[in-house]
Amino acid sequence: MLRLALAQVAAGEVPERNLDAALAMMDRAAKAGAQAIAFPELVLLRFFPQWERYAGARALAEPIPGPTSDRIAAKAAEHGMVTVFNLYERDGDRHFDSSPVFDADGSLLGVTRMVHITEYTCFHEQQYYDPGDRGAPVYETAVGRIGVAICYDRHYPEYMRALGVAGADLVVIPQAGAVAEWPEGMYEAEIRTAAFQNGYYAALCNRVGPEERLTFAGESFVVAPNGAVLARAKSLEADLLIVDLDLYACAVSPARSLFWRHRRPGAYAGWGLT
């Protein structure tokens, strides 16, 4: 059994205070017995992509490893807690929306970078992010096999399937989802479908709170491999959602006990899917 925490947090104006709040959430999760914790998209920063041109954005990016990831790693090791974070990464002259994944001993297992970059009103992400160049990795952690689908990547069945093919037991989805962004229930429906079709748990961790042009909804949730919603965080409020996951459910899910046995990857090669 895996006890997972989702830290549904808001981002204030001061990144250092936001980091302190994130570390405090890790302390709270540890006291609740969590073995793993996940955070929303851009935990430390106001959501700068809401502006088409934000002059100070590049200065907010940092390397991984770096000052923030070092503090998160130390706290993960202190509590023996697998941690999926998210921050604005600088790598040379490139910039990424990135989730470093830390094992229970604080070691950095790798960094997932968002592959698909959107561009529309209040989500001007192509102005700030380069497309991720590391595919859809799945990490062997102390608590199971974990993949990450950062926000916009969750809309792509190819990406979500790749995590399943790589054997993910749990897919963490750091998100910045606003109120009334799409028809009600659509985001939940696609995550439930991905979990059902691929036989893994999916945990969407959303940011929350009003900002200059957007209000983030919260309502983080966890879906089982059978597509059922197991737990949901509060709407429009900071929250720490704790849920217990039985990873054996992945092995006996409809996807892995039935659908996947009848897949025909060789037949798909000529279908022009790329």
Q: Where are the domains of the chain?
A: 2-262
CA–CA dist 233, 118 (Å, integer): 26
Tokens 């070691």 found at: 107
Say which CATH superfamily domain 2-262 falls into.
Carbon-nitrogen hydrolase (3.60.110.10)
Helix (H, G, I), strand (E, B) or coil at 24: helix
**Encoded tokens for 123:** 């989500």
Q: ∠ CA 155-159-183 to the nearest 5 degrees?
A: 10
Q: Taking the alpha carbons of 179, 185, 188, 193 in that order, is the dihedral positive or negative? A: negative
Number of other residues whose CB lies within 10 A of the CB of residue 142? 15
Identify residue 251 by its one-letter amino acid code.
A
Nearest to 170 by CA among 197, 193, 139: 139
Has this prediction a pTM greater than 0.95? yes
Per-residue pLDDT of the chain (274 residues; tens, 9 = 90+): 999 999 999 999 999 999 999 999 999 999 999 999 999 999 999 999 999 989 889 999 999 999 999 999 999 999 999 999 999 999 999 999 999 999 999 999 999 999 999 999 999 999 999 999 999 999 999 999 999 999 999 999 999 999 999 999 999 999 999 998 777 788 899 999 999 999 999 999 999 999 999 999 999 999 999 999 999 999 999 999 999 999 999 999 999 999 999 999 888 888 877 6
Cα 115 to the center of its chain, rounded Å: 13
Residue type, 84: V
